[in-house]
Amino acid sequence: MPPADDTTYEIRTATPEDTGLVEALDGSFTTATIFHVETAENGFTLRETAVDPPLTKVFPDDEDDEGSGGEGDQANQGTESSRGVRADEETFLAVAPDGSLAGFVSVAYARWNRRLTIEDIEVAPDHRGRGVGRALMSQAEEFARERGAGHIWLEVTNINAPAIHAYHRMGFALCGLDTSLYESTASAGEYALYLSKPCRGANRD
């Protein structure tokens, strides 16, 4: 049975014992629209289009390092920045009153460009639409502020329209595109969209 609308979730830092719960969480999603990417020589445009029947995306286990998007987002970029400086990483959990895992967010902070990357954010299907994703993102933003991040960045597939809309409501804006990231994977044909937002109130010390 889905939780009540007034359910209070505990947000806490993950421990090694939580690994199995995190890996087992269902990050699949269903959407009635996708963002079609139209590329041109000097840029691109996005056009939201309906899909009938609705599209359901399930991420294979071997796509753990591939962008999947949204409440169920993957943006894993590795544990080191391109400058060879190891990132500061953390995973936060949203735990329901019955002790079940409602969602999680994994983040990594790179000091060289003061970027906090949302590597993965997922919310279990029964807990979606209840503010879990926003609560997890708020925790990630607090982590970013404590480290003096200048901005927060993530990757999402163009077919995850629900996630893209959610990110826009949270203040993220489109900042880039990769048309080839998912080639040679089960997600071939999808495009990676990059979104970012300023990290306001960060500790600059």
pLDDT at 144 (0 to 100): 98
Question: 84 pLDDT exceeds 50?
Answer: no
Is-contact 180 145, C-beta < 8 A?
no
Percent of the chain with pLDDT over 90: 77
Q: Which secondary-structure segment (H or E) carries 23?
A: helix 19-24
pLDDT at 4 (0 to 100): 62
Q: Which secondary-structure segment (H or E) carries 20?
A: helix 19-24
pLDDT at 74 (0 to 100): 43
Question: 199 pLDDT exceeds 70?
Answer: yes
Instruction: Name the phi and psi angles at 51, rounded to 5.
Output: -125, 135
Q: Are strands 101-110 and 115-123 parallel, antiparallel or unpaired?
A: antiparallel
- The answer to which of 55-64, 105-114, 125-134, 196-205 has the lowest mean pLDDT is 55-64
Nearest to 66 by CA among 161, 167, 184: 184
Per-residue pLDDT of 91-117, as tens digits, reads 999 999 999 999 999 999 999 999 999
Distance between CA atoms of residues 18 and 103, nearest Å: 12
- The rounded mean pLDDT for the chain is 89
- The answer to which of 39-53, 69-83, 113-127, 189-203 has the lowest mean pLDDT is 69-83
For every residue of 122-188, which 3-state class applies, written as one string?
EECHHHCCCCHHHHHHHHHHHHHHHCCCCEEEEEEECCCHHHHHHHHHCCCEEEEEECCCCCCCCCC
Q: What is the mean pLDDT of residues 81-85?
A: 48
Residue matched to tokens 């014992």? 17
Give the pTM. 0.87
Q: What is the mean pLDDT of residues 109-127?
A: 97
pLDDT band for 177, please (50, 70, 90 cuts): very high
pLDDT at 203 (0 to 100): 78
For the record, the structure tokens of 193 come out as: 């969209």
Per-residue pLDDT of 52-79, as tens digits, reads 999 999 987 755 444 444 444 444 444 4
Q: Which secondary-structure segment (H or E) carries 22?
A: helix 19-24
C-alpha count within 13 angstroms, C-beta hemisphere, residue 145: 10
Percent of the chain with pLDDT over 70: 84
Between 77 and 42, residue with greater pLDDT: 42
pLDDT at 72 (0 to 100): 44
Nearest to 144 by CA among 198, 98, 72: 198
